[in-house]
A = this chain, B = another copy of it.
Amino acid sequence: MNEIATLFRRLTYGVYVVGVADGDQHNAFTAAWVMQTSFDPLLLALSINPEHFSYTLLKESGVFSVNVLRQGQLDLVRHFGCQSGRNTDKLAGQRWRPGEHGAPVLLDAAAYLECRVTGTMPAGDHELILGEVVDGGLLDPEAAPLRYSDTGDIDGSSALYPGKF
């Protein structure tokens, strides 16, 4: 791993499965770039790759869910991270339900938040989505959240950093 990749590993994240749905289409993908940005209103920011299939569904419907993975769920990190939803129903075979606002809620997650998009901003090779948290719940109050640092280099991201500033 080069020096800049190593440096960026000092930033701390959780691991989430972001769920999206539009009409009878749905999808979900693994993400770490999620954070709260405001208390009043309660807002989250999500950084999403606009080339992903989920991006289109999210923009059309204006809702998304953030499902908090628990420690040990590396199988779900891989499942929702390592294939495209364009030709595969990644939610098939998973335990899930539509949330109050339509975004997929993973029943095996530790917790979930459901958000309604309030704004977007270009952010380099990604786009920042701002969402107001309109619903959510603890699915397992005892579960400890999975940390991004626990996932090693499952996502292959260490290769995406430049060699120098």
- Please report A residues at the B interface, Cβ cutoff 8 Å: 3-4, 6-8, 10-15, 32-43, 45, 47, 66, 68, 110-111, 113, 119, 121-126, 128, 130, 133-138, 141, 145, 147-148, 157, 160-162, 165
Contact = CB atoms under 8 A, between A and B. Distances in A.
A36 B33 contact: yes
* Copies of this polypeptide in the complex: 2
12 contacts: A7-B111, A7-B137, A10-B110, A10-B145, A36-B47, A37-B123, A40-B124, A40-B160, A42-B161, A43-B124, A121-B130, A123-B130
Contacts of A45: 35, 45, 47, 123, 128
A18 to B, nearest CB: 13
Contacts of A66: 11
A7 B124 contact: no
Contact of A47 (B37, B138, B147, B160): B37
Given A11-B14, A33-B35, 4 more contacts: A11-B36, A11-B145, A121-B128, A133-B165
A12 B13 contact: yes
